[in-house]
Amino acid sequence: MVMREACPIEHILITLDGSTLAERALEPGLEVAQRPGARVTLLQVATLTLAPYELIYQAAYIERQVGHFPQSGVVDHAALYLDAMKQRLERRNVPVATEILEGFAAQSIVDYSETHGADLIVMATHGRTGLRRWAYGSVTEKLLRSGQCAMLVVRPGIEELKVT
């Protein structure tokens, strides 16, 4: 847990990406949310990725043939996923809000936390190393460097990290 300053934790932002590994952040985030008056927002970012040139050219060709491809499929999938998570948590009497953003994960999370007054960001780290870390980057590391609110980072066990 990284605390930037001593302040009451009233708005908890739990970031999810649709993976079971990311869901490991739910329980610790909910534990903190047991404080009276605390509220929880589940946030998923429909991430923009940089694709190899061949894929960009192929997509441009297909787009000309068929029409515009909105990213709505990704957003629709995120909406269904977050709705299922919300229902699961509400059965436990935990009121939650959900939010879907489009953009690059780290910057979107920082911007949301600042504009919506989050006091704590809770997330699981994927523990990527080597080429996967270079290709995907570390959202956790970027948030630790540029975020202004407290963070609770959940690191799954070594066996879970081998699966991803």
Q: Could you give the domains of the chain?
A: 11-163 (3.40.50.620)
Q: How many residues does the chain have?
A: 164
pLDDT of the residue at 25? 93
- Let me know the angle formed at the C-alpha of 46 by 45 and 52, rounded to the nearest 5 degrees: 125
Structure tokens at 50: 């940089």
156 and 127 Cβ atoms separated by less than 8 Å: yes
pLDDT for residue 83 is more than 50:
yes
Q: What is the DSSP string of 54-85?
A: HHHHHHHHHHHHH----THHHHHHHHHHHHHH
Give residue for tokens 């935990």.
94
**More confident call, 15 vs 160:** 15
pLDDT of the residue at 50? 52
pLDDT of the residue at 26? 94
CB atoms within 10 A of CB 16: 22
pLDDT for residue 68 is more than 50:
no
Measured in degrees and rounded to the nearest 5, phi and psi for residue 60 equal -65, -40
Give residue for tokens 């910057």.
107
pLDDT for residue 64 is more than 50:
yes
- Quick: pLDDT tens for 143-152: 888 888 999 9
Three-class secondary structure of residue 119 per DSSP: coil
pLDDT for residue 136 is more than 50:
no
Average pLDDT of 104-108? 90
What's the whole-model pTM score? 0.77
